[in-house]
Amino acid sequence: MRITTSGIHTSTAVAVLALCVIAAFVMTASSEEIQADTEVTVGGHHYTLNDSGAVYNGPVNATGDVTIPEYIEYGGQRYTVYSIWIDYNGESIRTLSIPSTITAYRLPLLSHNESNLVSIAVDPDNIRLSAEDGILYDTMTSSLICYPQMRSGSSFTVPSWVETIGVGAFQYSDLRSVELSNVVTIEDRAFWNCTGLTSVSIPSTVRDIVQGAFTGCSGITSFSVDSENPTYTSDNGVLFNEDMTEIVKYPSGRTSSSYTIPDSVRTIGYGAFWTADRLTSVYIPGSVTSIGENAFLSAPLTEVDIPSSVRTIERNAFRFTEASSVIIRGDNVSIGSEAFYGVDNLRDIWFLGTIGQLASDAFAMGTNGPDACTVHSYYNVNLSAYSDGLTHFTYENIGTPPEEPVEPDDPDVPDEPDVDPNPEPDTPSEPDNPQTPGQGDDGDPSTDDLTRIYLNAVFLVAFIVVMFVNILLYVRIKM
């Protein structure tokens, strides 16, 4: 047996060389990943290039009719146009033709608030998307994904095979009525700012109304729910979950100035009173424990009185209300980000319990907020630490806190509002909220997942190469 240093050096050099090649390969791949999602302009249209092909993003200039190509050439390479999400000049498109190659999308399809879109056409060879009467559907997921805003007609019946109304599908439509047929899911912003709708009938099939589905529908005066629906119900035209423990949506078109929440309610849902722009007073019963995000956003409440049962006030809950006073009666109440932002008339805040967790900007009130505000509490509360510094807070001690969290008898402290908990309902009169990913990449692994798989494979190969070199070295030593 003879050991030669030259053999050892050769084997080591081979191993090092192999590792260097692998490292260079990894660095090259990383460099290509950094260059992914490149925005380009080809043929007067915007695209985003990535490893899967090209995403169509809209025309460079305002135009009427748009036909999306199946392929584009850029930098000497050919890219398949496989996806669509229009965020350039979408408001100028009147007709849109989608090729067979597009099988992915993001919703809402047109990111702009309003558009002049009249109709959509789809190549009949497309395996996922289809169009009927100018309306875009995803046949793979049984979804209606885009109803053109300028399509003629005041009413529409959703086809019986459709189970999902997609994100922003009817946004800004002028429709006055929609028959939901056999719909199961109504996605976020599905009817965003459909101001022409006056009433909504929820069929027995609906199981999920995603938060914000009817936000901005300022003409709706009532919701009705099929008696066979196991998930939702309505009471005096207001939409609730089945056991009325959560208020889902108050009809924004109601002309009443006040409303009493039923004492069965535990949760005021996301955006429940958002854009209820006639409500100046809402009685919150002692059963409520949570006030959801955007719950009273832009409702013109003149006073906010939060009972001692409430433990959570989520972000933007009272944003842009018109309250001059806020009374928080509970202990350890958690208050979310910008919960009282833009409450320009606020002059007095009453904390009648111990202070809970406050977001760093819970009382940030914006540039038009009050110059000064008085905080009344049994405890020293420094709200300046939870604001944007534009409002001067002064503190007034209201005495010794009670041993039990009871409502105060001090005449200087506001009592619970004197409101009939069961008033006669008003007769409704005629009427006068990131980008949300869609369903285009269903089932596909994310870029991070692919990167982890790729790197694991590379290091496995490196390990095998090193082991192989060591085996060769061991055999040479034995010889």
pLDDT for 197-248, tens place per residue? 999 999 999 999 999 999 999 999 999 999 999 999 999 999 999 999 999 9
- Residue 403, pLDDT above cutoff 80: no
Mean pLDDT score of the chain, rounded to an integer?
A: 83
DSSP label of 393: E
Out of 13-22, 338-347, 411-420, give the one with best mean pLDDT: 338-347
Give the count of alpha carbons within 13 A of 392, CB side only.
Answer: 2
Q: Where are the beta strands (DSSP E) in 246-381?
A: 246-249, 258-260, 267-268, 281-283, 290-291, 303-306, 312-313, 325-328, 333-335, 348-351, 355-358, 372-377
pLDDT of residue 390: 81
Give residue 62's pLDDT band: very low, low, confident or very high (50, 70, 90).
Answer: confident
Give the count of alpha carbons within 13 A of 300, CB side only.
Answer: 9
- Residue 476, pLDDT above cutoff 80: no
In the three-class reduction of DSSP (H, G, I as helix; E, B as strand; rest coil), residue 206 is classed as coil
pLDDT of residue 365: 85
CA 203 to chain centre: 24
Give residue 317's pLDDT band: very low, low, confident or very high (50, 70, 90).
Answer: very high
Q: Residues 204-210: contacts with CB within 8 Å, 24+ apart?
A: 204/228, 204/229, 204/230, 205/181, 205/229, 206/180, 206/231, 206/232, 207/231, 208/184, 209/239, 209/248, 209/249, 210/185, 210/186
Higher pLDDT among residues 28 and 364, named by residue = 364
Per-residue pLDDT tens over the stretch 444-463: 444 455 555 556 666 666 66
pLDDT of residue 7: 47
Give residue 466's pLDDT band: very low, low, confident or very high (50, 70, 90).
Answer: low
**Neighbouring-strand partners of residue 208:** 185
Among 170-179, 259-268, 290-299, 373-382, which stretch is predicted with the lowest mean pLDDT? 373-382
DSSP label of 113: S
**Neighbouring-strand partners of residue 281:** 258
Per-residue pLDDT tens over the stretch 35-46: 468 999 999 999
Whole-angstrom distance, CA of residue 299 vs CA of residue 274: 6
**Neighbouring-strand partners of residue 223:** 200
Whole-angstrom distance, CA of residue 58 vs CA of residue 18: 46
- Residue 68, pLDDT above cutoff 60: yes
Mean pLDDT for the stretch of residues 428-448: 42
Out of 2-11, 60-69, 106-115, give the one with best mean pLDDT: 60-69
pLDDT of residue 445: 46
pLDDT of residue 269: 97
Give residue 414's pLDDT band: very low, low, confident or very high (50, 70, 90).
Answer: low
Among 139-153, 181-195, 234-248, 407-421, which stretch is predicted with the lowest mean pLDDT? 407-421
Whole-angstrom distance, CA of residue 428 vs CA of residue 426: 6
Q: What is the dihedral of CA 89, 92, 95, 101, to 10 degrees?
A: 0
**Tokens linked to 371:** 């110059």
Among 90-104, 118-132, 154-168, 458-472, which stretch is predicted with the lowest mean pLDDT? 458-472
Mean pLDDT for the stretch of residues 91-103: 94
Out of 1-5, 114-118, 335-339, give the one with best mean pLDDT: 335-339
pLDDT of residue 474: 61
- Residue 6, pLDDT above cutoff 50: no
Mean pLDDT for the stretch of residues 339-356: 93
Contacts of 417 (CB under 8 A, 6+ apart): 283, 303, 305
- Residue 413, pLDDT above cutoff 60: no
User: 393 phi and psi, to 5 degrees?
Assistant: -100, 130
- Residue 51, pLDDT above cutoff 70: yes
| Opening angle at CA 138, ends 132 and 143, nearest 5 | 95
- Residue 61, pLDDT above cutoff 50: yes
Q: Which of 222, 193, 226, 190 is nearest to 209 (CA)?
A: 190
Mean pLDDT for the stretch of residues 426-448: 41
**Tokens linked to 361:** 């900007």
Mean pLDDT for the stretch of residues 11-17: 47
**Is residue 344 a contact partner of residue 369, using CB atoms and an 8 Å limit?**
yes
Among 134-143, 248-257, 435-444, which stretch is predicted with the lowest mean pLDDT? 435-444
Per-residue pLDDT tens over the stretch 77-86: 999 999 999 9
In the three-class reduction of DSSP (H, G, I as helix; E, B as strand; rest coil), residue 13 is classed as helix
pLDDT of residue 180: 97
- Residue 188, pLDDT above cutoff 50: yes
Q: Is the peptide bond before 437 cis (omega within 30 degrees of 0)?
A: no
Give residue 437's pLDDT band: very low, low, confident or very high (50, 70, 90).
Answer: very low
Q: Which strands, in side-by-side order, build the sheet including 164-165?
A: 129-132, 135-138, 143-146, 164-165, 185-186, 208-209
* Gyration radius (Cα) of the chain, Å: 30
Whole-angstrom distance, CA of residue 470 vs CA of residue 478: 12
pLDDT of residue 210: 96
What are the CA-CA distances from residue 38 to residues 10, 33, 54, 226, 442 (Å)? 44, 10, 9, 49, 22
Express as a percent the part of the chain with pLDDT over 70.
77
What's at 388, amino acid-wise? D
